[in-house]
Amino acid sequence: MSLKSLTYTSLARLDLDVGELEAIHRTARAVNALEGITGILIFNGTHFLQIIEGAPMAIDELVERLRRDPRHSGIEVRDERPVKERSFPDWSMELVKVSASYFDAKDEVAGRLPATVAEPVKDRVFRMTEAISGTVSF
Ligand SMILES: Cc1cc2nc3c(=O)[nH]c(=O)nc-3n(C[C@H](O)[C@H](O)[C@H](O)COP(=O)(O)O)c2cc1C
């Protein structure tokens, strides 16, 4: 079966609350389990960074739904490529909440990534986490 991985960032609706975030996560897990989609959803309080992986048609259809979802905007596809293996085989969608500053967020993300994530993917996650981070504060 051919597999594709897509990474995007987006801006969460300004007044998105915890209940809505939980609802997004619940739907994502339930639907992805049915669609054979796996991945990670990183939220830093203002922005999302998501990696989704699965059959190309399932990924394209999900991106269409994501583009119509008013709970976020400004979707930017940062990476899209065919892959041989999944980076997140055991996660129908894992939500990782991180700090706004990259200084903290990098460690928080690093502590959660499973061993199945190869170095280049890890690097991409860190780079994209930096891209959605606010000003670094010490
Ligand atoms: C940041 C974010 C991440 C999402 N991730 C997923 C996901 O991984 N899988 C999914 O099915 N829906 C996800 N959703 C929800 C979809 O946008 C959409 O609401 C859902 O798939 C149901 O689609 P429908 O209302 O057109 O039936 C996400 C929404 C947001 C805002």
Q: What is the CATH number of the domain that holds 54?
A: 3.30.70.100
- pTM, 2 dp: 0.96
**With pLDDT > 90 as the criterion, what percentage of the chain qualifies?**
96
Residue of minimum CA distance from atom 24 in ligand 1: 65
Structural domain total, the chain: 1
Average pLDDT, integer, range 57-66: 98
Q: Does the Cβ of 38 fall within 6 Å of ligand 1?
A: no
State residue 134's pLDDT score.
75
Asked, for residue 29, whether it belongs to a domain, the answer is: yes
Pairwise CA distance, residues 93 & 41, whole Å? 7
- The chain-wide mean pLDDT, for the chain, equals 95
Residue 129 has pLDDT above 90, yes or no: yes
- 46 and 103 Cβ atoms separated by less than 8 Å: no
Asked, for residue 138, whether it belongs to a domain, the answer is: no
Chain mean position to CA 69: 15
Digit-coded pLDDT (tens) for 19-44 = 999 999 999 999 999 999 999 999 99
> Pairing relation of β-strands 47-54 and 72-83?
unpaired
Pairwise CA distance, residues 108 & 103, whole Å? 9
State residue 1's pLDDT score.
80
